[in-house]
Amino acid sequence: MLLAQSEWIVPEIHLGVCPDPSDNRFLECAVASGADYLVTKNIRHFPPKEYAGVKIVRIRAFLQALEQTAQRNLSS
């Protein structure tokens, strides 16, 4: 199911904003794809809260955002 809803991203940007180079690769993909969120258990290695329009959140915060969106969609 996840694969069917996925898109392969090859970013053309190279970032050096995270202390761990492998974390930069995830952020590059998120920025290049225009993602709304980058979901991680390890937010301390990413820029605080947001980078280039991508919100950097823990799993719990992402699930809460999904729930709020679903509730708004049901009430409209």
Assess contact for 51 and 31: CB atoms under 8 A: yes
Distance CA 11, CA 27 (A): 10
Both structure tokens of 21: 């180079």
DSSP 34: T
- Three-state SS for 66? helix
**pLDDT per residue rounded down to tens, the chain (76 residues):** 878 988 999 999 999 999 999 999 999 999 999 999 999 998 998 999 999 999 999 999 999 999 999 998 988 7
Helix and strand element counts for the chain (H, E) = 2, 3
Q: Considering the entire predicted model, what is its pTM?
A: 0.83
Which CB contacts under 8 angstroms, 24+ apart, belong to 63-66?
A: 65/37
